[in-house]
């Protein structure tokens, strides 16, 4: 029997990168998945891959920073599948700049998507899970929540996700719902592909294991926290970064 047999999952930002790999990984273990994100064309590609695995998958175009869209995602999932067992808040962006050069627009955009967007989907999803008395919420934060040069907006948003995770974990602990965060280290995706060679090499030199991670490395951690084996774990922050944060 597969680990997530017939479970219903939502993954945001599932058109590429960590979100796509996570959606595939959950489906491989038996989950049906709603894949949500900004670009329908890439979501359809993810959905087709999942359907080939014999799992149901519905794509939905959404901007998580818009509350009414987040509500539509929850309503759509309930209409299609009747429940939400697993919610992976993965969608996120970066708009890096040194503090003295960062514009208020760069600040606002990152906070609106990474923090308010995660709050929107988490809050509305948690209302459903509370009633079900079952749920697994996994929020994708970042090792940068501890602070990173050029990422004041991103670090603040990802630190906010940790506070949100721990508060939600406390509030939902008696309702059968666990809430945990994963902090990826340095992972090879679109988000990191334009990092200059000098910075790339510097990052690698800071990773004790000595190499960049893959989206699969993060997907496996999500799978664990979504599984029954993790049912007594809540409010935790799991670093997945080859030892980047020790």
Ligand X SMILES: NC(=O)c1ccc[n+]([C@@H]2O[C@H](COP(=O)([O-])OP(=O)(O)OC[C@H]3O[C@@H](n4cnc5c(N)ncnc54)[C@H](O)[C@@H]3O)[C@@H](O)[C@H]2O)c1
Looking at the annotation, which residues are catalytic? 154
Please say whether the beta carbons of 25 and 19 come within 8 A: no
**Candidate list 4, 7, 8, 16; residue touching ligand X; CB under 6 A:** 16
Site string for ligand X, 165-184 (x = CB under 6 A): -------------------x
Determine, following the binding rule CB under 6 A, whether residue 189 of this chain makes contact with ligand X.
Answer: yes
Determine, following the binding rule CB under 6 A, whether residue 63 of this chain makes contact with ligand X.
Answer: yes
The count of other CB atoms within 10 Å of the CB of residue 67 is 15
Nearer to ligand X, 116 or 132 (CB): 116
Determine, following the binding rule CB under 6 A, whether residue 17 of this chain makes contact with ligand X.
Answer: yes
Determine, following the binding rule CB under 6 A, whether residue 92 of this chain makes contact with ligand X.
Answer: yes
Nearer to ligand X, 117 or 125 (CB): 117
At 85, is the secondary structure helix, strand, or coil? coil
Site residues (CB under 6 A) for ligand X, limited to 123-162:
140, 142
**Candidate list 11, 26, 60, 113; residue touching ligand X; CB under 6 A:** 113
Q: Token match 């064309």: residue?
A: 41
The count of other CB atoms within 10 Å of the CB of residue 40 is 14
From the list 52-60, 63-71, 96-104, 163-171, the region that binds ligand X by CB under 6 A is 63-71
Nearer to ligand X, 37 or 135 (CB): 37
Cα 211 from Cα 61, distance rounded (Å): 34
Cα 246 from Cα 243, distance rounded (Å): 6
Three-class HEC string of 187-234: ECCHHHHCCCHHHHHHHHHHCCCCCCECHHHHHHHHHHHHCHHHCCCC
Nearer to ligand X, 42 or 132 (CB): 42
Cα 73 from Cα 25, distance rounded (Å): 21
Rg (CA), the chain: 17
Residues in a beta bridge with 184:
240
List, in order, residues 6 or more apart from 20 with CB less than 8 Å away: 14, 35, 42, 46, 215
From the list 9-17, 51-59, 169-177, 225-233, the region that binds ligand X by CB under 6 A is 9-17
The strand ranges marked E within 96-220 are 135-140, 177-184
Determine, following the binding rule CB under 6 A, whether residue 87 of this chain makes contact with ligand X.
Answer: no
From the list 1-9, 90-98, 103-111, 221-229, the region that binds ligand X by CB under 6 A is 90-98
Nearer to ligand X, 13 or 160 (CB): 13
Determine, following the binding rule CB under 6 A, whether residue 238 of this chain makes contact with ligand X.
Answer: no
Q: Which residues bind ligand X (CB under 6 A)?
A: 12-13, 15-19, 37-39, 62-65, 90-93, 113, 117, 140, 142, 184, 186-187, 189-192
């Amino acid at each position: 029997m597969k680990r997530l047999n017939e479970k219903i999952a939502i993954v945001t930002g599932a058109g590429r990168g960590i979100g796509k790999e996570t959606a595939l990984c959950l489906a491989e273990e038996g989950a049906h998945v709603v894949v949500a994100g900004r670009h329908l064309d890439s979501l359809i590609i993810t959905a087709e891959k999942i359907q080939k695995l014999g799992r149901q998958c519905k794509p939905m175009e959404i901007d998580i920073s818009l509350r009414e869209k987040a509500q539509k995602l929850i309503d759509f999932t309930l209409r299609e599948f009747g429940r939400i067992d697993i919610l992976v808040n993965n969608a996120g962006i970066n708009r890096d700049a040194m503090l003295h050069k960062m514009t208020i627009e760069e600040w606002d955009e990152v906070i609106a998507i990474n923090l308010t967007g995660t709050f929107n989907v988490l809050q509305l999803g948690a209302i459903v899970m509370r009633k079900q008395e079952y749920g697994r919420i996994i929020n994708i934060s970042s090792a940068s929540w501890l602070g990173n040069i050029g990422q004041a907006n991103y670090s603040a948003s990802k630190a906010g996700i940790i506070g949100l995770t721990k508060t939600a974990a406390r509030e939902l602990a008696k309702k059968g719902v666990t809430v945990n965060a994963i902090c990826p280290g340095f992972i090879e995706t679109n988000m990191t592909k334009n990092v200059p060679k000098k910075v790339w090499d510097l990052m690698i030199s800071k990773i004790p294991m000595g190499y960049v991670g893959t989206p699969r490395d993060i997907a496996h951690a999500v799978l664990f926290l979504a599984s029954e084996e993790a049912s007594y774990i809540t409010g935790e922050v799991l670093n997945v970064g080859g030892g980047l944060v020790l």
